[in-house]
Each structure stands twice: as structure tokens, then as C-alpha cells.
């Protein structure tokens, strides 16, 4: 396997040339609409990497969720996170599925950390192909010093206030808000990276419905260091959408169980229940996924 920046260098340089590259995020540009001129480049890469047996299971659940969003409900997609190609592959497979799938893909608005905009123009070019609301993630905030980083803390607060204001507006406009409950890609050398972040409880509390989505198979393998150096390979990718779940009922049940445990963090219990559900879906899907992984 070789780095994506090496295998697709020429194509990526063309993409960067057509990208808007908003490399600095402020409270004024947290809502970033997809630059669809970039999609053919990414789809061309995925045509080569995503093997024919790939597809979406539980498509009918996504149709149901979109219908609820169109009727005015606020709706979440809660998705496993293994690579920076998770959203591109979901979008790609939806659009390959049918016209209805393309409609679902077009309704997706992802919650994305500002690192995807600010770390590397190559990463930004890929990210820019999809509509998203940019936030300052809690993991990044944890590394700031209250004394030394006052300006950056003020910036983070401004960005997150603007992001939440935008989210509250957009979620009532027939969109599907995509969130990665782990808040980061899973790193096999860091088991903690697969634990859900506590803030996800706030999303569950303020939305009406969600669908859990498991991802099996991965065409972009994470590496330590720069995200542009992740390794590409061919693989069968299966996206599994679970049934539509009412957020209030799920949260109430998860927190009721937490109340039975002395000292339990009820907010963390909500996201732990989500991660447990996703892991179970992942393990079940892996039993039937065809194994055809090839190096590039």
C-alpha cells in the first residue's frame, strides 16, 4: 500500500487547483456548502478502490429518515469513523444506488472538525466536496492552556457558538446531520480513539430521530502523522444502516441504566450505548462481508 498523495498525485493537484481552500475557519464561515466540481475527481478514485461487492444494507431505513426530515423532524446519522474517506464512500455508494440514494446523499450535512480545513490543502480539497458545519472539537480544546492560549480559546468559543446556531437552523430544513460519535478516526494503536465523546449526548437530546451506521471495509488506511499520507488500497466496503430510532426514547433508556450504577456519568452512558450498538452492527456485518482486499 502507498500514500494517497503519491498514488493520485496528479489528480489531487488538479483538485487543489479547483478548490476554494478556506484554510482558516472563523465564526463567519462555519457553514461550508459542497463544491461539487470536486466530486468527479473523488468518485474517479473511488471507482478504482471500492470493489464491486460493495454496497448499502438497510437502505430503506435511510429513506425513512429522509422522509421524516422532509416532514420537519430533526434527524441524525451516527456513523462509525475509520478514515477520511468514510463520508466520501457513503456519498459515493448512495449516489451509485439510485436517484433516491442521490437525494439522501445531497441532504447530508456533516459535522467536521476544523483540522480538516486547516491542516493541509490536500485534505481540505477532499473535505470541500461535501457540505459541512465546522466545529472546534473538544479534543482540540483539551490541549489549550487557559493562560497562554486565551486568543485561541476565544476563537474556539466563537466558532462553536456560530456552529450551533447554524446547526439549529439547518436541522429543520430537511437535512440529515452526520456526526461521528467517536469524534475522531479509530486508531488501532489507540483503543481510546474508539470511545464516544461525551458531547454527543447533547445531539441526542436536541434531535428527534437517528439512524446508526456501521462501516465495514476501508480503502484509506490511517497512518501516524499527516492525513495526506494515509495509505490507499482496494476493498469491499459495506455500509449498514440500522433502523430509525427516536432520540428521546434511546437517551432515556440509556440514562436510566446509568442511574442504577453509583457515580455513573449519564451523558457518557448515552454515547457509550451508541458505540456499543455500532460495534455490534459492525461485528454482525463483518461476518458476511466478502474478503477481497488488494494493494495498490
What range does the domain containing 128 cover?
A: 2-295
Range 6-30 average pLDDT: 95
CA dist., res. 228 & res. 83, Å (int)? 11
pLDDT category of residue 140 using cuts at 50, 70 and 90: confident
Specify the pLDDT at position 296.
Answer: 56
Q: Say which residues have a Cβ less than 8 Å from residue 125's Cβ, sequence separation at least 6.
A: 12, 15, 16, 19, 21, 38
For the chain, the domain total comes to: 1
Question: Scanning the structure block, which residue is given the C-alpha cell 489507540?
Answer: 190
For residues 18-39, average pLDDT: 96
Inform me whether the pLDDT recorded for 293 exceeds 70. Answer: no
CATH number of the domain where residue 30 is located:
3.40.1130.10
Q: Where are the alpha helices (DSSP H) in 19-79?
A: 39-49, 59-70
Whole-angstrom Cα distance, residue 199 to residue 239? Answer: 25
Taking the C-alpha atoms of residue 146 and residue 199, their distance in angstroms, rounded to an integer, is: 20
The pTM assigned to this predicted structure is: 0.95
- Phi and psi, residue 238, nearest 5°: -110, 125
Of 151, 121, 122, the residue nearest 136 (C-alpha): 151
User: What is the pLDDT confidence band of residue 86, given thresholds at 50, 70 and 90?
Assistant: very high
Phi-psi region of 238 (alpha: psi -120 to 50; beta: other; left: phi over 0): beta
pLDDT for residue 291:
72
Residue 96 · residue 164 · CB < 8 Å: no
From start to end of the chain, where are the E strands?
Answer: 2-3, 31-32, 55-57, 75-79, 108-113, 132-135, 176-179, 209-216, 220-221, 231-234, 238-241, 245-246, 294-295
What separation, in Å, do the N-terminal and C-terminal C-alpha atoms of the chain show? 6
pLDDT, tens digit (0-9, with 9 covering 90-100), for 154-186: 999 999 999 999 999 999 999 999 999 999 999
**Alpha-carbon span 64 to 5, nearest angstrom:** 38
Task: List the beta bridge partners of residue 246.
Answer: 209
Mean predicted lDDT score pLDDT of the chain: 94
Residues in the chain: 296
89-131 pLDDT, tens digit each: 999 999 999 999 999 999 999 999 999 999 899 999 999 999 9
Amino acid at each position: 500500500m502507498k500514500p494517497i498523495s503519491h498514488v493520485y498525485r496528479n489528480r489531487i493537484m488538479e483538485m487543489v487547483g479547483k478548490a476554494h481552500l478556506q484554510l482558516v475557519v472563523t465564526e463567519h464561515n462555519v457553514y461550508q456548502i459542497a463544491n461539487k466540481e470536486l466530486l468527479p475527481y473523488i468518485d474517479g478514485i473511488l471507482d478504482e478502490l471500492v470493489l464491486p461487492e460493495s454496497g448499502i444494507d438497510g437502505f430503506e431505513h435511510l429513506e425513512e429518515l429522509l422522509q421524516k426530515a422532509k416532514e420537519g423532524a430533526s434527524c441524525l446519522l451516527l456513523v462509525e469513523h475509520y478514515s477520511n474517506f468514510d463520508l466520501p464512500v457513503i456519498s459515493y455508494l448512495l449516489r451509485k444506488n439510485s436517484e433516491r440514494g442521490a437525494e439522501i446523499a445531497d441532504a447530508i450535512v456533516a459535522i467536521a472538525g476544523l483540522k480538516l480545513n486547516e491542516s493541509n490543502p490536500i485534505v481540505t480539497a477532499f473535505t470541500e466536496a461535501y457540505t459541512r458545519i465546522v466545529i472546534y472539537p473538544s479534543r482540540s480544546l483539551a490541549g489549550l492552556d487557559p493562560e497562554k492560549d486565551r486568543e485561541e480559546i476565544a476563537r474556539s468559543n466563537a466558532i462553536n457558538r456560530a456552529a450551533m446556531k447554524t446547526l439549529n437552523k439547518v436541522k429543520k430544513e430537511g437535512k440529515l446531520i452526520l456526526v461521528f460519535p467517536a469524534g475522531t478516526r479509530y486508531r488501532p494503536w489507540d483503543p481510546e480513539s474508539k470511545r464516544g465523546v461525551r458531547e454527543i449526548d447533547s445531539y441526542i437530546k436536541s434531535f428527534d430521530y437517528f439512524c446508526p451506521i456501521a462501516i465495514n471495509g476501508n480503502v484509506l488506511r490511517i497512518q501516524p502523522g499527516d492525513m495526506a499520507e494515509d495509505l490507499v488500497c482496494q476493498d469491499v466496503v459495506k455500509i449498514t444502516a440500522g433502523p430509525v430510532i427516536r432520540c428521546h426514547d434511546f437517551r432515556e433508556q440509556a440514562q436510566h441504566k446509568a442511574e442504577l450504577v453509583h457515580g455513573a456519568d449519564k451523558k457518557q452512558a448515552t454515547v457509550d450505548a451508541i458505540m456499543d450498538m455500532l460495534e455490534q452492527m459492525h461485528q454482525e456485518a463483518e461476518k458476511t462481508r466478502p474478503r477481497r482486499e488488494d494493494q495498490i
